[in-house]
Structure 1
Amino acid sequence: MPGLIFFCWMLMLPIACAGEENWVGRFDGADTAVPAPWRLLQLDKHVAATQYRIRLWDGVPAIEATADSSMTLLARPVEVDLSLTPVLCWSWRVDAPLINADMAKKSGDDYAARVYVAFKLPPSMIDFITRAKLGLARTIYGDAVPDAALNYVWDNRYPIGTYRPNAYTDRTRMIVVESGAARAGSWVSERRDLLSDFKLGFAAEQGEVTLLAVASDTDNTAEKARAGFADLHFVSREQPCAIR
């Protein structure tokens, strides 16, 4: 292990070596704006923006998201070697699930809380038709449109474990990690094997994580929601999550 640590230090890699957590969302709890490298990512300029800030929430330093008929991702670039640290850990909370959302419909594609991970795929894994569709989407929404994405959501309707394409695009998979109001109002810790979820969703062995985002999303249902996100990090399959 000392040799491995020295090797990582010498390379000065921005990704974790085996046995180390790769933190992407750890905050100090001060009541302030969200610091860089986090930034707002608004794909549709005609939709109101969800509001974000850093706060201490029941003793947990966290991102607070407040949505009112709104949708904006709070995103940051990520470098992670999924062969070393394929497991994504985080804590989140919602005041309440949405009422009228339904992930099977475009009109209901809203979530009190969601954790979004974007991937870049090798060109050989994207067929001509898909490349054309992605090109059109990027013409409309910009380069933030990924080759593929996973969304871990706190849903109101579908059971935990539901795994399905997004209502708008089959380049995004929706995974229900929490559902309903039973655990609303308190912090809940999660652990997902991101690499396994990616392989299941896209039948692919390779994919480079490029971006991680959180959101409270209510633009389609015109509802209000508040959510919190904390302690986002990657670990190996053998490691426990390092959630406070």
Structure 2
Amino acid sequence: MPASTAASAAELDDESVIEEDEQIAAFSENQSDVLSPEWEPMLFNRNKRRTEYALVSDQGKKVLHARAANAASGLMQQLSIDPLRDSRLTWEWRISRLVESADNHDRAREDAPARIILGFDGNKDDLPFADQIMFETARAITGREIPYATLMYIRARKTPVDTVISNARTGRVKMIVVATGKDGVGEWRAFSRDIAADYERAFGEKPGRLIAVGVLTDTDNTGETVEAWYRDIQLTPSEELSDLQALDDAR
């Protein structure tokens, strides 16, 4: 999968489009099989085959279904959220199978059956020249500005959980393995992550504003076919902040 993802701060200047600290649009709140307009296509290369995304019913609620057959595209929502305040990310996903020939350390085999993608703002002028050239190249390929930093939570084939993997093309994209191996394949699995802490561990600095969230199921490097299902993605204050708020309310 290519290095570039999501949206940039430059696309968030119009306050009539992006409000401060909005919530991630829930798949389950759709009354029909049509995705809410907040979720937009996320393309990595306009010449690649797209992953198919659709809302389907699961246990009486709408969930997002993804099918990738030698394909790579995602869905994203633009945001403007302070990740130091709302830092607890929770979600559930289910996969049909592993991408058997995938290896997220290998540029030629970098695929995953399920990913949550987060884009963060920052000052690109402070980055090395090579990274700035990468951003310009990625914008030319995708037709979209690229975030200062991108953090992905991925489903791996054999890499241990909590491993941080740098994208082979750039250090501005980091992947954190949250599930691995055959255990849980075909089952719904729930996750909860402190995105501020994960970002600092991956990039060695505190995060800027969260400007995009996305989902991605991709097999363009391996040519395999895989399906995934995603339930609602939610972002809330961390437990520590919630405890402090509870103390304040009790006074």
TM-score (structure 1 length as normaliser): 0.84
Determine if contact 1:150/1:198 at 8 Å carries over to the other structure. yes
Taking every aligned residue pair, what percent have the same amino acid on both sides? 25
Tell me, yes or no, if the aligned pair for 2:94 and 2:187 is still in contact at 8 Å.
Answer: yes
Q: Give the 3 Å change call, closer, same or farther, for CA 174–109 of structure 1 in structure 2.
A: same
Distance 2:65 2:31 in 1: 12
The runs of 4+ residues in structure 1 deviating greater than 3 Å are: 28-31
Paired residues of 2:46 and 2:142 also in contact (CA < 8 A): no
Distance (Å, rounded) in 2 between the aligned partners of 1:34 and 1:146: 24
Instruction: Look up the match of 2:107.
Output: 106
CA distance 1:31–1:154, change in 2 (3 Å): farther
SS of structure 2 residue aligned to 1:201: helix
Superposed CA deviations along residues 151-202 of structure 1, whole A, max 9, x for unmatched, are 1011112111111101232210011101122111121111111111111111
| Structure 2 CA distance for aligned equivalents of residues 164 and 23 of structure 1 | 26
Measure the CA separation in 1 of the matches of 2:51 and 2:175: 20
Give the Cα separation in 1 of the matches to 2:96 and 2:30. Answer: 19
Which one is further off, 129-138 or 61-70?
A: 129-138
Q: Please give the secondary structure, in 2, of the residue aligned with 1:184.
A: coil
Is 1:228 equivalent to 2:229 in the alignment?
yes
Secondary structure at 1:210's aligned position in 2?
A: strand
Give the drift of 1:83. 2.4
| Count of aligned pairs between the two proteins | 223
Q: Contact conserved, 2:71 with 2:220, CA < 8 A, in 1?
A: yes
Q: Distance in 2 between matches of 1:43 and 1:61?
A: 26
The reply on whether 1:176 has 2:182 as its aligned counterpart is no
CA distance in 2, matches of 1:221, 1:34: 28
Number of the residue aligned with 1:148: 149
Task: Note the C-alpha offset of 1:220.
Answer: 0.5
- After superposition, where does 1:65-214 map in structure 2 within 5 Å? 65-123=66-124, 125-214=126-215
Q: Which runs of 5+ in 2 are unaligned?
A: 1-18, 244-251
In 1, Cα distance between the equivalents of 2:29 and 2:209?
29
Q: Whole-Å Cα distance in 2 between the matches of residues 229 and 50 of structure 1? A: 14
3-state DSSP of counterpart to 1:133:
helix
Cα 1:31–1:173 shift into 2, 3 Å: same
Deviations 1:100-154 (A, max 9, x none): 0001111110000011111121346424442233223323333342221011011
Partner of residue 44, structure 2? 43
Whether contact under 8 Å (2:153, 2:178) holds in the other structure is yes
Unaligned runs of 5+ in 1: 1-12, 17-21
In the TM superposition, what is the alpha-carbon distance from 1:71 to its structure 2 partner? 0.5
- Candidates 18, 21, 30, aligned match of 1:15: 21
- The residue correspondences of 1:24-35 to structure 2 (distance < 5 A) are 24-28=25-29, 32-35=33-36
TM-score, scaled to structure 2: 0.82
